[in-house]
């Protein structure tokens, strides 16, 4: 009996075994209804049977074996991946369903094969291709859905943290008012203010990261801006959280242009915070800003451990943290990613270099665009 005909004729028997196996995938499957547990299994089997019977040349077979064949977002397998993620199944559990389904179909079908022929071999190959394609579509959609769920969570978390952070910052301001409490009270107030500033920076990075991952990007509103003032404002902000660090600002030329000053300040704060974290304490953190033709160049420099070339290649990727012996990570690994996104939103570029002589230097190049 042809495999496609067997699947069509015995589909309920196959699905009964699917149900039994899926029921073992706890804890997600524990309280699910039979209908929810089966999900798109019947449509996946029907699609496999149709695929076995469809015409396929050597080129199509080669592309499918490499995963280059059509990947239908609205296919039954794709929807199965999305729903399994929403229902709390792990990806390993979802892939195990396909492994069990493949084994079940072949185990039930082979006793009906009287003689192994070329057609039998072809049917088995085509069935395995169809299941592999379904696995690829399910895992792709599962991964996409998991990433979107994570990013939505981060956006909600960042938003909800702003209210208690504001209260914390206000408490710090009050404690540092002259003649309030004792000298110790003022000292505690300064610590609260620094902690609130550090946490606020993390929350802002979370919100910006979530915004980029959810597809909306980082919006900018350009206006006439003096980059020197932006640089000094960023230094003043970071000094609050790191009063023990020395900062230097060196500017030359006309630094006026059309930029989003708030976003540019945010990018520089992230670069400065990174520089402070990895600096050598006997050297200052420096910002050098200069005019170059129709562009403005901003460099943030610190002396410290040299960043290896392979780390430089990935340094702007989200959630990347540089490992340094004896020093635990003190950030979310989003600051440099956000700085890059803000720079690119201005049609600018950002690069990094690191060596023993010059230290680590991040260079932003911003075109002087007309005011929008």
Tell me, yes or no, whether 372 lies in a domain: no
Contact 314, 324 (CB under 8 A): no
Considering only CA atoms, give the Rg of the chain.
Answer: 29
Phi, psi of 158 (to 5 degrees): -60, -40
Count Cβ atoms within 10 A of the Cβ of residue 17 and give its class: 0-12 exposed, 13-18 middle, 19 or more buried. Answer: middle
Q: Is residue 230, in this structure, part of any structural domain at all? A: yes
Of the chain, the percentage scoring pLDDT greater than 70 comes to: 83
pLDDT tens digits, one per residue of 263-293 = 899 899 989 988 998 899 889 999 999 999 8
112: left (phi over 0), alpha (psi -120 to 50) or beta: alpha
- pTM value is 0.54
Question: Which CATH number covers residue 60?
Answer: 1.10.490.70
pLDDT bucket at 328, cuts 50 / 70 / 90: very low
Helices (H), the chain: 3-9, 11-22, 34-38, 41-53, 58-65, 76-86, 91-109, 118-175, 183-213, 227-241, 261-278, 309-314, 335-345
Write down which residue in 113, 131, 147 finishes a domain: 147
Q: Are 54 and 130 in contact (CB under 8 A)?
A: no
The span from the CA of 317 to the CA of 62, in Å, is 34
Q: What is the pLDDT of residues 213-237, one digit of tens each?
A: 656 567 788 999 999 999 999 999 8
Give the whole-angstrom CA distance, residue 372 versus residue 366.
15
Same domain, residue pair 142 and 156: no
pLDDT beyond 80 at 36: yes
Residue 209 and residue 243 in one domain: no
Rounded CA gap, 312 and 363, in Å?
13
Band the pLDDT of 371: cuts 50, 70, 90: very low
Q: Is pLDDT at 331 greater than 90 in this prediction?
A: no
- pLDDT recorded at residue 227: 96
Residues 9 and 133 in one domain: yes
pLDDT of 4 reads 94
Whether residue 134 is contained in a domain is answered as: yes
Question: Residue 160 belongs to what domain range?
Answer: 151-213
What pLDDT does 330 receive? 46
For residue 370, give the 3-state DSSP assignment.
coil
Question: Which percentage of the chain shows pLDDT scores above 90?
Answer: 45
Tens digits of per-residue pLDDT, 134-191? 999 999 998 888 887 777 666 666 666 666 677 777 777 777 788 777 777 877 777 7
Q: Closest Cα partner for 194 from 265, 148, 267, 244? A: 244
**pLDDT for res 333:** 65
Residue 174's pLDDT is what? 76
Secondary structure class of 205 (helix, strand, coil): helix
282 in the same domain as 177? no
Mean pLDDT of 11-31: 90
Asked whether residue 330 falls in the same domain as residue 203, the answer is no
Q: Are residues 244 and 276 in the same domain?
A: yes
Asked whether 220 and 260 are in contact (CB, 8 A), the reply is yes
Point out the least confidently predicted range of 80-84, 97-101, 240-244, 277-281.
240-244
Supply the pLDDT for residue 7: 95
Are residues 178 and 66 both part of a single domain? no
For residue 330, being part of any structural domain is answered with yes
| Domains: count for the chain | 3
If asked whether residues 137 and 10 sit together in one domain, one would say: yes
């Amino acid at each position: 009996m042809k495999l496609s005909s067997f699947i069509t004729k015995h589909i309920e028997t196959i699905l009964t075994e699917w149900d039994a196996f899926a029921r073992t995938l706890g804890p997600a499957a524990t309280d699910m209804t039979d209908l929810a547990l089966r999900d798109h299994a019947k449509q996946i089997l029907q699609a496999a049977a149709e695929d076995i019977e469809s015409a396929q040349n050597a080129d199509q077979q080669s592309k499918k074996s490499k995963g280059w064949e059509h990947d239908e977002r609205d296919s039954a397998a794709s929807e199965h991946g999305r729903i399994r993620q929403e229902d709390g199944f792990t990806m390993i559990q979802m892939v195990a369903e396909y492994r069990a389904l493949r084994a079940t179909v072949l185990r039930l079908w082979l006793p009906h094969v009287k003689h192994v022929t070329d057609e039998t071999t072809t049917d088995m190959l085509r069935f395995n291709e169809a299941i592999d394609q379904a696995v690829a579509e399910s895992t792709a959609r599962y991964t996409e859905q998991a990433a979107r769920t994570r990013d939505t969570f981060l956006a909600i978390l960042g938003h909800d943290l702003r209210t208690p952070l504001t209260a914390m910052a206000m408490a710090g301001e009050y404690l540092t008012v002259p003649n309030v409490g004792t000298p110790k009270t003022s000292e505690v107030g300064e610590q609260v203010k620094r902690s609130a500033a550090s946490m606020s920076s993390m929350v802002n990075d979370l919100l910006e990261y979530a915004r980029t991952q959810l597809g909306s990007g980082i919006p900018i509103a350009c206006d006439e801006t003096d980059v020197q003032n932006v640089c000094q404002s960023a230094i003043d902000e970071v000094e609050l959280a790191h009063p023990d660090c020395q900062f230097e600002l060196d500017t030359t030329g006309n630094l006026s242009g059309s930029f989003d000053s708030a976003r540019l300040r945010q990018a520089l704060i992230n670069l400065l915070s990174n520089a402070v974290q990895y600096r050598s304490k006997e050297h200052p953190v420096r910002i050098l800003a200069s005019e170059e033709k129709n562009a403005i160049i901003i460099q943030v420099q610190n002396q410290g451990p040299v960043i290896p070339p392979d780390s430089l290649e990935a340094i702007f990727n989200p959630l990347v943290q540089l490992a340094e012996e004896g020093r635990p990570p003190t950030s979310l690994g989003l600051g440099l990613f956000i700085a890059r996104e803000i720079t690119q939103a201005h049609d600018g570029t950002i690069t990094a270099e690191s060596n023993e002589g010059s230290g680590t230097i991040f260079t932003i190049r911003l075109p002087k665009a007309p005011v929008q």
